Structure formats: structure tokens, C-alpha cells
């Protein structure tokens, strides 16, 4: 199977795209893909290579050059995605590629990205009318469920060590007594004693909708009133105390708020359509030029 794979990879440009899809889609070297994975990656790689060949012969490609510092920085970023440099260079060898061939292919890949970016930049800006039309047609997308601002203190333990469990419970119980007597001390207690990574932010979990926390904490949080602190909660990772600092009722986003979401959606749609139309003209010559 591996020998058959390498026979297909005789074109450095194809090998480049195959390496990219194998790593992006499966986090593997092409030579380590299953037969089904390889066929899928090979198909995608071949289609992208042929498309890039068309793009790079377009009039728009003639003046596009990628500066060497940009090329080198991109190469370093790609290498950094691998476990180490040796793995990257090993993958090159497995794909019968030299570094210079990879750099050339990467240069062309960046040229294609630049060309498509320039085509996308030619679209007209999204108008207020388009934003309002999208808002009116998709109103349910902007129904915001009830949310709760919450703070958390967590003391972790190893469930297989009874002594550690007892120690953790004594610690969380003492904290619970203090925050029950003085709820405003919750952030300070979280910062000083919590094992959760939110401790650096005084235990602040931010605004949460139902279902965003683990089930044990989620169920409790959405029974609390604003300013109320929970009892001690146990789950598989530790003991926790959660405090609901504020309740944000369900509501519908105003068009002004929603426009911050809608604008990039519509702009991206316009840019993709502009690129699609441009590519279509490249691949399918107009009827005027057809004999």
C-alpha cells in the first residue's frame, strides 16, 4: 500500500497538497493514512492542485509575488504544527519531497491565497438594508436564552485516595462557611484557594446559558437566585461551590446588537460568491469565446 501511495506522489505539487490534506484532515503523514483516508486526501489534493494551476495562469496572478520573509515565516509556522522538526522533515522524505520543492509549492499556495483575497476585496460593502433584511428573515437566530453570571470555587481530589478526599472536603467546607457568612468574599476566596483555572480571574465564569457547564454545576446554577451561593457540590473531579452573581433574562437582540453578527456573515458570503464567479469564468470560458 505504501509503495502504491508513493507512486502516486511523483509530482511535487501534488505531494505538497497531499501532505497538507493528510495533516489537516487526519493529523497523519500521507504514508500512515488508511486506504479510505488516503483516497479521500488524494482526491482533495488533486482537485486543489488542478484548481491552483488554473488560478496561477490567470491575468490576476502575473504580478503576485510572496516576499521571502513572509514565505519563511509561514514555513516556520507550518513546521511548528508538527510535534518537532524531525517529524516535518521525515514527512517530506516520506512524500519524496525536497525542502526546496516544498518551499516552491508553498510559495504558489500563498500566491493563490493572495489572489483570492484580492478578488474577495473587490466586493461592495454590506449595506444597512441587507443587514435589516437578514435580521427580519432570521429572527429566531437572535433570540438569546436566559444567562447567568457565575463564580466558581473548586477543590480537586484524587477519588482513589480517601485521605485526600477528606482533606479536600474539610477545605471546601471551611471556605463554604466563610462565603456563606460573607458572600462578597467569594472572589477573594476563589483567587486564594480554588484549584480551577478561573482562580486567576477571581473564579469568574462569565455569562453562561443552560448546558454550558458540567451537568452537576449546571443544574444547581439555574436554581439559584441572583447573589445566592450553592451548597457544596461533588462531582468526579472535586468539590465545588458556585455563586450566581446576576441573572440575565431571555431576550431578543436588537438589530444594532445583531448587526455585529450579521455584517461578517454577509460580507463573507459576498466574498465567497465573488471568488466562485471569478473561478467559474476561469474554468468555463464565456460563450463569446467559444467557437
Q: How far apart are alpha carbons 155 and 4 in whole angstroms?
A: 55
- The range of the structural domain enclosing residue 189 comes to 147-248
Q: Is residue 272 included in any domain, yes or no?
A: no
Task: Determine the pLDDT at residue 269.
Answer: 96
Instruction: Say whether both 11 and 63 belong to one domain.
Output: yes
Q: Is residue 24 included in any domain, yes or no?
A: yes
Q: Is residue 273 included in any domain, yes or no?
A: no
* DSSP states along 194-207: --SGGGGGTTEEEE
Q: Is residue 270 included in any domain, yes or no?
A: no
Beta strands in 119-237 (DSSP E): 143-144, 147-156, 204-209, 233-235
Q: Which secondary structure element, helix H or strand E, spans residue 242, and what is its range?
A: strand 238-248
Instruction: Say whether both 97 and 174 belong to one domain.
Output: no
Question: Of the candidates 49, 77, 45, which has an alpha carbon nearest to the alpha carbon of residue 88?
Answer: 77
Instruction: Say whether both 152 and 116 belong to one domain.
Output: no
C-alpha distances (whole Å) from 271 to each of 114, 132, 168, 278 are: 13, 19, 55, 11
Task: Determine the pLDDT at residue 10.
Answer: 61
Q: How far apart are alpha carbons 64 and 8 in whole angstroms?
A: 30
Instruction: Say whether both 105 and 188 belong to one domain.
Output: no
Task: Determine the pLDDT at residue 28.
Answer: 83
Q: Is residue 268 included in any domain, yes or no?
A: no
Task: Determine the pLDDT at residue 1.
Answer: 42
Task: Determine the pLDDT at residue 63.
Answer: 87
Task: Determine the pLDDT at residue 160.
Answer: 83
Task: Determine the pLDDT at residue 6.
Answer: 44
Number of domains in the chain: 2
Q: Are 15 and 95 in contact (CB under 8 A)?
A: yes
> Model pTM greater than 0.85?
no
Q: Is residue 274 included in any domain, yes or no?
A: no
Profile the chain (291 residues) by mean pLDDT over runs of 10 residues.
Answer: 46 89 86 89 92 93 92 94 89 88 95 96 95 95 95 92 89 96 95 95 96 94 96 91 96 95 96 94 64 49
| CATH number of the domain bearing residue 171 | 3.10.50.40
Task: Determine the pLDDT at residue 126.
Answer: 95
Instruction: Say whether both 90 and 31 belong to one domain.
Output: yes
Residues in the chain: 291
Amino acid at each position: 500500500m505504501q509503495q502504491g501511495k508513493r507512486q502516486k506522489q511523483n509530482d511535487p505539487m501534488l505531494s505538497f497538497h497531499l501532505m497538507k490534506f493528510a495533516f489537516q484532515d487526519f493529523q497523519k503523514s500521507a504514508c500512515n493514512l488508511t486506504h479510505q483516508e488516503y483516497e479521500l486526501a488524494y482526491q482533495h489534493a488533486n482537485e486543489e492542485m488542478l484548481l491552483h494551476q488554473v488560478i496561477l495562469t490567470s491575468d490576476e496572478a502575473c504580478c503576485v509575488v510572496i516576499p521571502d520573509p513572509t514565505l519563511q515565516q509561514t514555513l516556520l509556522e507550518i513546521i511548528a504544527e508538527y510535534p518537532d522538526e524531525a517529524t516535518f522533515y521525515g514527512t517530506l522524505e516520506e512524500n519524496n519531497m525536497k525542502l526546496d520543492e516544498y518551499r516552491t509549492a508553498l510559495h504558489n499556495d500563498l500566491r493563490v491565497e493572495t489572489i483570492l483575497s484580492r478578488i474577495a476585496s473587490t466586493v461592495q460593502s454590506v449595506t444597512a438594508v441587507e443587514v435589516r433584511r437578514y435580521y427580519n428573515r432570521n429572527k429566531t437566530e437572535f433570540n438569546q436564552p436566559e444567562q447567568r453570571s457565575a463564580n466558581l470555587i473548586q477543590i480537586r481530589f484524587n477519588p482513589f485516595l480517601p485521605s485526600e478526599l477528606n482533606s479536600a472536603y474539610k477545605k471546601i467546607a471551611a471556605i463554604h462557611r466563610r462565603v456563606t457568612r460573607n458572600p462578597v468574599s467569594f472572589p477573594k476566596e476563589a483567587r486564594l484557594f480554588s484549584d480551577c483555572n478561573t482562580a486567576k480571574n477571581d473564579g469568574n465564569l462569565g455569562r453562561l446559558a443552560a448546558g454550558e457547564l458540567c451537568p452537576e454545576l449546571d443544574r444547581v446554577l439555574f436554581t439559584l437566585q441572583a447573589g445566592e451561593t450553592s451548597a457544596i457540590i461533588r462531582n468526579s473531579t472535586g468539590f465545588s461551590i458556585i455563586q450566581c452573581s446576576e441573572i440575565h433574562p431571555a431576550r431578543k437582540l436588537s438589530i444594532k446588537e445583531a448587526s455585529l453578527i450579521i455584517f461578517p456573515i454577509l460580507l463573507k458570503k459576498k466574498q465567497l460568491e465573488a471568488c466562485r464567479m471569478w473561478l467559474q469564468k476561469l474554468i468555463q470560458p464565456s460563450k463569446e469565446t467559444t467557437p
